[in-house]
């Protein structure tokens, strides 16, 4: 009787194939077990998604984030900060919500524009224009009260067009105020201090609420508020005080 080898080549090849199959089967078993272990967590997530989808029906709004517990309307969830406006469009239809900036003011932040006479803006950078220091000429033809804009240091007040004498009362003094006057027609241009304030030229001081005046063409005077009174800091010709 011929003696058989324990494992011929055919049997060995089959054994190798079987081992590979067992290895693959074990890997599959491991994947199945891992999936089964995570099934509860996966199902919980699916249930949560289903709940959210159910909640987000038409008219109930939307949450801000995944853990927002109270869905709401967009125009209630978005809050406008200072200087921002919301405008709802196409009410009841395919609605829109426009976000726009408010115009800025002295008391409200917002979008500001810049007068090209005084400012230049390049790539968002704001610079003082070379013309910002130039005088703006304002003609006064009748008696009245001056404003802060008239004494901003960049305004030259004349009496061009005046048919008679005019009295111009300065605003209450404040830091930074500079007033400039030029007689351009042969009519009296009188500059009066506000209330009990006074005007000083060298050692001479006006009365409370006093004035200086002149009617000669070409005469010029500059007054600066020093925190206590109006000081004459520049003059062409002579101006009469409290005549």
CB 187 within 8 A of CB 141: no
- List, in sequence order, every beta strand (DSSP E) within 80-206: 84-89, 96-101, 119-122, 125-128, 136-139, 144-145, 152-158, 166-169, 178-182, 189-192, 199-201, 204-205
Does the residue 65 lie in any domain?
Answer: no
pLDDT tops 90 at residue 190? yes
Categorize the per-residue pLDDT at 29 as very low, low, confident or very high, splitting at 50, 70 and 90.
low
- What values do phi and psi take at 220, rounded to 5? -140, 145
CATH of the domain at 143: 2.60.120
Count of alpha carbons within 13 angstroms of residue 163, beta-carbon side? 0
What was the pLDDT predicted at 56? 53
143 shares its domain with 48: no
Does residue 236 share a domain with residue 144?
Answer: yes
Please list, in sequence order, all residues whose beta carbon lies within 8 angstroms of the beta carbon of residue 225, skipping any fewer than 6 positions away: 151, 173, 174, 175, 176, 177, 178, 231
Does 227 map to a domain? Answer: yes
Residue 61 within a domain: no
pLDDT in tens, 150-189: 999 889 999 999 999 999 999 999 999 999 999 999 999 9
Backbone phi and psi for residue 230, each to the nearest 5 degrees, phi listed first: -90, 125
148 in any annotated domain: yes
Query: What confidence score (pLDDT) does residue 214 get?
Result: 97
Claim: this prediction has a pTM higher than 0.85: no
Closest among 156, 138, 139 to 222, alpha carbons compared: 156
Whether 151 maps to a domain, the answer reads yes
| Mean confidence (pLDDT) of the chain | 82
The one-character DSSP state at 62 is: B
- In-domain check, residue 62: no
Q: How far apart are CA 194 and CA 149, in angstroms?
A: 16
In a domain, 101, yes or no: no
3-state secondary structure of 111: strand
The residue-averaged pLDDT of 67-84 equals 80
Q: Note the pLDDT of residue 157.
A: 97
CB of 71 closer than 8 Å to CB of 56: yes
Burial of 30 per CB tally in 10 Å (0-12, 13-18, 19+): exposed
146 contacts 181 by C-beta, under 8 angstroms: no
- Provide the pLDDT for residue 231: 97
Is residue 175 situated within a structural domain? yes
Q: Domain range spanning residue 180? A: 134-241
Q: pLDDT tens for residues 108-160?
A: 888 888 887 778 888 888 887 765 566 789 999 999 999 999 999 889 999 99
Q: Give the per-residue pLDDT at 102.
A: 85
40-59 pLDDT per residue, tens: 676 777 677 666 656 555 55
**Contacts with 160 (C-beta within 8 Å, 6 or more apart), sequence order:** 139, 141, 184, 185
Q: What's the total number of domains in the chain?
A: 2
């Amino acid at each position: 009787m011929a003696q058989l080898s324990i494992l011929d080549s055919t049997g060995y090849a089959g054994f190798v194939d079987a081992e590979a199959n067992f290895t693959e089967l074990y890997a599959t078993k491991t994947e199945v077990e891992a999936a089964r272990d995570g099934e509860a967590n996966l199902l919980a997530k699916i249930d949560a998604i289903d709940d959210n989808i159910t909640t987000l029906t038409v008219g109930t709004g939307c949450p801000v984030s995944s853990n927002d517990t109270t869905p709401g309307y967009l125009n209630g969830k978005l809050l406008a900060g200072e200087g921002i406006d919301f405008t709802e469009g196409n009410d009841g239809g395919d609605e829109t919500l426009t976000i726009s900036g408010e115009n800025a003011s002295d008391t409200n932040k917002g979008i500001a524009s810049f007068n090209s006479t005084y400012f230049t803006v390049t790539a968002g950078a704001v610079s003082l224009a070379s013309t910002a220091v130039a005088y703006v000429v304002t003609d006064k033809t009748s008696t009245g009260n001056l404003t802060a804009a008239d004494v901003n240091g960049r305004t030259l007040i004349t009496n061009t067009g005046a048919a008679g004498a005019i009295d111009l009362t300065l605003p209450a003094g404040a830091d930074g105020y500079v007033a400039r006057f030029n007689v351009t027609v042969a009519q009296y241009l009188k500059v009066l201090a506000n209330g009990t304030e006074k005007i000083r030229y060298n050692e001479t001081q006006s009365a409370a609420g006093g004035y200086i005046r002149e009617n000669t063409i070409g005469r010029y005077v500059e007054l600066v508020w020093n925190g206590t009174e109006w000081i004459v800091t520049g003059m062409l010709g002579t101006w009469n005080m409290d005549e």
